[in-house]
Amino acid sequence: MVIIVFAQTYIDVKMNKQELKKKIKDYINFFEALDVKRLLLLGRYYHRDARFKDPFHDVEGAQNIRDVFEKIYNQTSPKIRYVHYGLSEDGVTALLRWDYMFELKSARQVISGATELTFDKDGLIVSQIDYWDPSEVVYEKVPVLRSLVRMVKRKLRS
């Protein structure tokens, strides 16, 4: 038995791997077709107390997660393409590799990253942690920060 401590609640996780694979495929299909209008459907995928974390956000609650996604989708109108996914041996966690494509100031941008999803026994997401490098796609685009980020990268390489 796997017990996950999340949002100060104990969640007993027992989910069939086939069911989990289906949930992951449903999630991928949903996000690959996601737009601002479909954000209301996020509750089908996230536990009400779920956590979402990425380099710029760390929020709890399905409504707060929807607010973050709404802000992102209103700013960039992205298209997400999931490249690969895998399940952990315990059948609780999924790892997704993705490309996030969007236009910003008429220039096409691509962010590549990974997502770690943790599910409860009902197949709802209780935790989503997105991993990607903000220096490459954000900080290096800001003239004042560009030279600082490049200097730090050079220093770390030497």
Q: Which domain holds residue 48?
A: 2-133
- Extract the tokens encoding 79: 């298209």
pTM: 0.78
Is 150 a domain residue?
Answer: no
Longest C-alpha distance within the chain, in Å? 51
**Total structural domains in the chain?**
1
Q: Are strands 46-53 and 58-60 parallel, antiparallel or unpaired?
A: antiparallel
- Residue 147 domain-assigned (yes or no): no
62: nearest Cα among 41, 91, 31, 83: 41
- Give the model confidence (pLDDT) of 53-81 as tens digits: 999 999 999 999 999 999 988 877 777 88
Structure tokens at 54: 């990425």
- β-partners of residue 12 are 3
Predicted local confidence at residue 134, as pLDDT: 82
For range 140-150, the mean pLDDT: 67
CA dist., res. 71 & res. 80, Å (int): 16
Mean pLDDT of 131-144: 73
Q: Is residue 140 part of a domain?
A: no
